[in-house]
Structure 1
């Protein structure tokens, strides 16, 4: 049945982690004026929320938004996919070929509607339709466009000082909060300490994307994601600072220092220069001392993006885009501190379909700017590097999308932005004065949350003009992000196999060395069940699992005992588990089926991390919640309208299908939000 369209142009503005509860708080403070205009021109619930799918994990929820199907149906049931060979291992999951439900963009493309899917994580890449009407950009990871495949060099902090006598380089240095950037003895660090874990390589590296098993045993608090990501880590360069010598054209009073790039093997000389008043206030970075023009000129406190320089990657020079910022420079030119971002290959088009899209965007908007991954506990870096770098990326993405809208005649566009979620994983948990982070200032981090919502409002404002041009716009999220009330026990972490609680309850047994020290190795002869990925427990079952010891006839009673023990488990005298149910019963939540565990559980409110381990209705400190935002405005949508309907995540895709006049996706389980449409249904 062909349905008459209510709109000819529709744009989905997805913002990962955007929480309607804290959004309403910031709206009342008047700091999100653009979003307020969307609300006044459109329709939403009074609380701006919709009911997110479970688990509240990025790929699972974005796939639900794309298909109108629950995770148990579409099969993307967590950030990772359970390894079919090993209960203690996971494999890469953000692959459209793992999605067992039809994506809406395939429907629109088949209907002759020119469609763009922009960095939609979980079920977009590789494209699953050969229609010439479908364009797809990335989607292999949630961070930013090309983040997983184009990175050539890591972020760096450079300290230059007259007291430094030798150029020194230290990779992936971990810097606890409050510790300065200059280190007097880098040799000791590089000899005694291992480099910080490169989470990008583990999570999004080529090995992961090719399906290699990843084993991550979460043994203690130091293994938990919110702890790992709190500690800033970056390459560190200590450079001598001296009078300029040997330059083709340097002022007599200029000073020089050296920047190391390309994992420390490429040198870039830099001049420290005076302004008209005779004060040192800017620097110029060159390829070499004979170059007539600098690569870039930096003034104190001003971030510059879109800087292209060659990076030496395994002996091959590749042009790469960076951002840089001169953080500090003494007026007498005797010391400075600066930051340079990671470097992204400007020509890496493997995740652009068609590939010409990258060339088009680079030519008319600029190369993809890298975002920052430093910050966390270090408020100085969050304020001066992390937030400004994301701001630059948001501006670039808005310009890129507007360029494609104006020049490529797309009619339906699905987009994703990850700034709020990425920041949330870095420091949201620091916005409450938890004992573990008592040395951080919760009010400072609360203000950072405000800044990221202001940043997002600015981004959304770049698309307001489309409402006057006949577009329909939806603003939505996969989930929200909460500020935790407690430092949680180790269960429900999505990054691997969680040991603590299951070991305490006697279901998971780890091997020990001759001295009784616990090893990162499962004793499968004694282990009856393990907890892996965010919300799943697997029975170590004979005939199914490689090391199975539980007789299938005993599985039902073992599940009963595990659920009973989970409900009885206490942390500081309080119950930790909210819900626990067998796979067959989890159909009521949409978390059943072969890609889900034998038991699905949620952590109770008060013990959730940021998101992913509890229900989508969970709330936290500082007026935060895990609920995702939803509102719609423009052609086909009632203006300034409030609905009392409970909107479920599975309802979004059929609503879009109704608006643009195409059939429902084949596996859709939701229904159109007909109450907000201008025409009766």
Structure 2
């Protein structure tokens, strides 16, 4: 091992690698490049955050702070004054009607690259979550999870059909087609929303049956003017321009999947991504960095959620078509990494590969024959093997990085959390309702009538409510707009709720569903604890907060319910049951390693003092 000082640190993030799968594959010799970094057949573990969620965990990696220090606690957050539910990653603010809206990052705290910049050391950061809007730094940054699609969502697709009575599904636009089976079809793409056009700006397109059977040509004013697509295959990119006003336009890129051409067209359009050459809002620093990447590697996905999971959840695309799109995500990211590593001679390089996480979310049911999501669906050994294929691809990426490692390089490979099956969901708001802690408006019953986003709740009679995946909140006087819980009673109520939830059983399955529930002061410290859930709920593996409660709904029926969605794997469980993995090419302290300690470790390697608020210690 070289004693020369380290000049560069290369960090490869492989989102969601489950340690038990890594161990089994290491034992079989299926991960040769990770084996080069391992002292044995068991992968070193790294403790994740509470909750074990991607934006929370990678924000801790970036800052060396727990959630109470960086302020990211969930994918969603609520405004306590108005009870409005919004993104927990970023927000938009508009100080004047004369000024355009401005994106604001919800993540707080100094990052590794902030401190390196102050020390004059460059960084290249590719797709780290919670980097939108992009941080200013010495070097280059491309935003990751948190960058929206052009509709402002996390993955808003469009489904075109002539079938009567069709309706849109989750996070989807539905565009009816008038198709007689012969004539060209006039239709459109929906772009950014605006106060003047809530439905959104439009780009006209025409669908024309090509001479070749099973083929369709899309004509538009975009680039290319004519794009021919074939049944069952993803198209190339179509660049489009949406007119937003007399002097403003927005450019996007979109791909299509022709599901069926005859007798009537059924067409799927991916979420429209910002055009990396000219995004509506900056997605990189410097702003031209995204364009330079596209010039070298071609157009690429810019939205924070690259893999089109909603299309699979909605049964619009098949699992094989989902995996084909994931293949493209791997190729894009590897091309970015190669471009940047080939020119890196000093400083920090970081690149996140999200795809293993998304594939496990969507295909985990194939690993568990008894999974409720398998009812009415085929179970495929080949699709179960597709999960391990993601680990092999990750190992290939590690080999690619090793090609750029010399005796003055520290290589770090890690995942932010592990993975489990998600078979049962717990309706936390329903439990609160039955405990007399949550009330619905007069005439509103649990279920569909209660709606999402906390709309059905009677705040004048509610003491506690849930939204997001991490826990629940008190309806606190002086904090919530219509709070009724006196501050001097809050601690006792937090403890009472936590005690009742701890050890809660799923009697139908005959096992504990919630391992523990903890008042927030036992979990978090730092300047943003006031934004945290009042009670943090730690589910047992196999269980998770329900789809309804996570969106602020109040479900009807049993407290525990089967999860039958294609989203069949998850990691939002007791953090002690979902550690990630951690490898380095240099000796490090393996016992008790935590995500909190990666920022101090990287800074120490590059000779920079860690931030005064950082909570961890270097691992080397």
Task: Tell me which interval the TM-score lies in, with the shorter structure as reference length.
Answer: 0.7 to 0.9
Instruction: Specify which of 469, 491, 498 is matched with residue 563 of structure 1.
Output: 498
- The aligned residue for residue 6 of structure 2 is 7
Shift of 1:62: 0.8
User: Structure 1 residues 240, 627: closer, same or farther in 2, change over 3 A?
Assistant: farther
After superposing the two structures, state which structure 1 stretch, 261-270 or 562-571, moved more: 261-270
**Which residue in the other structure is 1:79 paired with?**
75
Q: Are 1:575 and 2:504 matched, yes or no?
A: no
CA change 1:659–1:281 in 2 (3 A) is: same
Unaligned runs of 5+ in 2: 91-103, 191-201, 546-568
- Separation in structure 2 between the aligned mates of residue 150 and residue 530 of structure 1, nearest angstrom: 26
Cα distance in 2 for partners of 1:364, 1:631 equals 31
Is the aligned partner of 1:381 residue 2:317?
yes
Structure 1 residue 629 and structure 2 residue 581: aligned?
yes
The answer as to 2:471 corresponding to 1:539 is no
SS at match of 1:463: helix
Note the C-alpha offset of 1:115. Answer: 1.0
**Aligned-residue offset at 1:460:** 4.4
1:418 Cα shift? 2.1
Distance 1:44 1:376, change over 3 A: farther
Q: Deviations over 1:605-644 (max 9, x none)?
A: 34236546422232xxxxxxx32222123xxx24xxx965
Question: 1:529, CA displacement in angstroms?
Answer: 2.0
Residue number among 53, 60, 73 corresponding to 2:56 in the alignment: 60
2:284 is aligned with 1:352: yes
Q: CA 1:26 to 1:375, structure 2 compared with 1: closer, same or farther past 3 Å?
A: farther
Q: Is the 8 A contact 1:325 1:339 kept in 2?
A: yes
Shift of 1:90: 3.6
Aligned mates of 1:335, 1:137 — CA distance in 2:
41
So what's the TM-score if we normalise by structure 1?
Answer: 0.70
Q: Is the 8 A contact 1:310 1:320 kept in 2?
A: yes
C-alpha distance in 1 between matches for 2:444 and 2:259: 51
- Cα distance change of structure 1 residues 234 and 460 upon mapping to structure 2, 3 Å threshold: farther
**1:390 matches 2:326:** yes
Equivalent residue for 1:670? 616
Partner of 1:522: 457
Residue aligned with 1:510, SS? coil
Q: 2: distance between equivalents of 1:324 and 1:670?
A: 46
Shift of 1:299: 5.7
Specify the alignment match of 2:121 in structure 1.
113
* Cα distance in structure 1, aligned partners of 2:113 and 2:425: 39
SS of residue matched to 1:608: strand
**Distance (Å, rounded) in 2 between the aligned partners of 1:92 and 1:85:** 16
The answer to whether the 8 Å contact 2:155/2:271 transfers is: yes
**Is contact 2:60–2:596 with CA below 8 Å preserved after alignment?**
yes
C-alpha contact (below 8 Å) 2:71/2:106 kept by paired residues = yes
Change (3 A) 1:152 1:524: closer
Cα offset, 1:339, TM superposition: 4.7
Secondary structure of 1:584's partner?
helix
1:506 to 412, 433, 436: 436
Alpha-carbon offset, residue 391 of structure 1: 1.4
Q: Is the 8 A contact 2:126 2:142 kept in 1?
A: yes
Deviation at 1:664, TM superposition (A): 1.0
* More displaced 10-residue stretch of structure 1: 263-272 or 383-392: 263-272
Larger Rg, first or second structure (1 or 2): 1
Q: Distance in 2 between matches of 1:153 and 1:259?
A: 24
1:29, distance to aligned residue in structure 2 (A): 5.5
Q: Is the contact between residue 169 and residue 314 of structure 2 (CA under 8 Å) also seen in structure 1?
A: no
Q: Equivalent of 1:104, from 112, 116, 120?
A: 112
After superposition, the C-alpha distances for 1:107-149 in whole angstroms (9 at most, x for unaligned) are 1111111112222112x344555x5x143322461xxx66467
**How far 1:320 moved relative to its partner?**
3.6
Q: Which residue of 1 aligns with 2:206?
A: 268
- In structure 1, distance between residues paired with 2:480 and 2:606: 46
Paired with 1:514 and 1:63, the residues of 2 have a C-alpha distance of 39
Partner of 1:342: 271
Give the number of the structure with larger relative contact order, counting CA–CA contacts within 8 Å between residues 6 or more apart.
1
Are 1:70 and 2:70 matched, yes or no? no
Alignment partner, residue 651 of structure 1: 597
Q: Given the alignment of the two structures, is residue 308 of structure 1 paired with residue 228 of structure 2, yes or no?
A: no
Counterparts in 2 of 1:419 and 1:581: CA distance versus 1, 3 Å: same
Q: Assess, with a 3 A threshold, how the Cα gap between structure 1 residues 150 and 357 changes in structure 2: closer, same or farther.
A: farther
Separation in structure 1 between the aligned mates of residue 179 and residue 378 of structure 2, nearest angstrom: 32
SS at match of 2:255: strand
Shift of 1:52: 0.7
Gaps of 5+ in 1: 158-168, 171-182, 200-232, 243-255, 275-279, 492-498, 619-625, 675-681
Distance 1:403 1:478 in 2: 24
Asked if 1:364 is matched to 2:296, the reply is yes
Q: 1:39 aligns with which of 21, 35, 41?
A: 35
Match of 1:217 in 2: none
Question: Which residue is 1:51 aligned to?
Answer: 47
Deviation at 1:48, TM superposition (A): 3.6
Partner residue of 1:616? 575
Q: Does 1:24 align with 2:23?
A: yes
* TM-score between both structures, scaled by the size of structure 2: 0.76
Q: Is the 8 A contact 1:539 1:555 kept in 2?
A: yes
Match of 1:173 in 2: none
| 1:63-83 deviation line (CA, Å, top 9, x unaligned) | 110121222233222223342
| Contact kept? 1:154, 1:235, Cα under 8 Å | no
**Structure 1 residue corresponding to 2:226, chosen from 281, 295, 304:** 295
Q: 1:414 to 1:420 in 2, by over 3 A?
A: same
Indicate conservation of the 8 Å contact 1:476/1:630, yes or no: yes
Q: Is contact 2:476–2:484 with CA below 8 Å preserved after alignment?
A: yes
Deviation (angstroms), 1:39: 3.0
Distance in 2, matches of 1:27 and 1:594, equals 43
Structure 2 partner of 1:277: none
Residue aligning to 1:92: 87
Alignment of 1:117-196 (within 5 A): 117-122=125-130, 124-127=131-134, 129=136, 131=137, 133-139=138-144, 141=146, 147=149, 155=157, 169-170=160-161, 185-186=163-164, 188-189=165-166, 193=167, 195-196=168-169
Equivalent-residue separation in structure 1 for 2:154 and 2:534 (angstroms): 41
Q: Is the 8 A contact 2:365 2:373 kept in 1?
A: no
| Residues 489, 607 of structure 1: 8 Å contact kept | yes
Contact persistence 1:474–1:631 (CA under 8 A): yes
Give the match for residue 483 of structure 2: 548
SS in 2 for 1:630: strand
What is the 5 A alignment of 1:588-627? 593-608=529-544, 610-611=569-570, 613-618=572-577, 626-627=578-579
CA shift digits 1:537-581 (9 cap, x unpaired): 333333443323333343343333323322364332543321223
SS at 1:381 equivalent: coil
Q: How many Å apart are 1:50 and its aligned residue?
A: 1.0
1:241 positional shift = 4.3
What secondary structure does 2:17 align onto? Answer: coil
**Structure 2 residue matching 1:600: 3-state secondary structure:** strand
Contact 1:152/1:343 (8 A) holds in 2: no
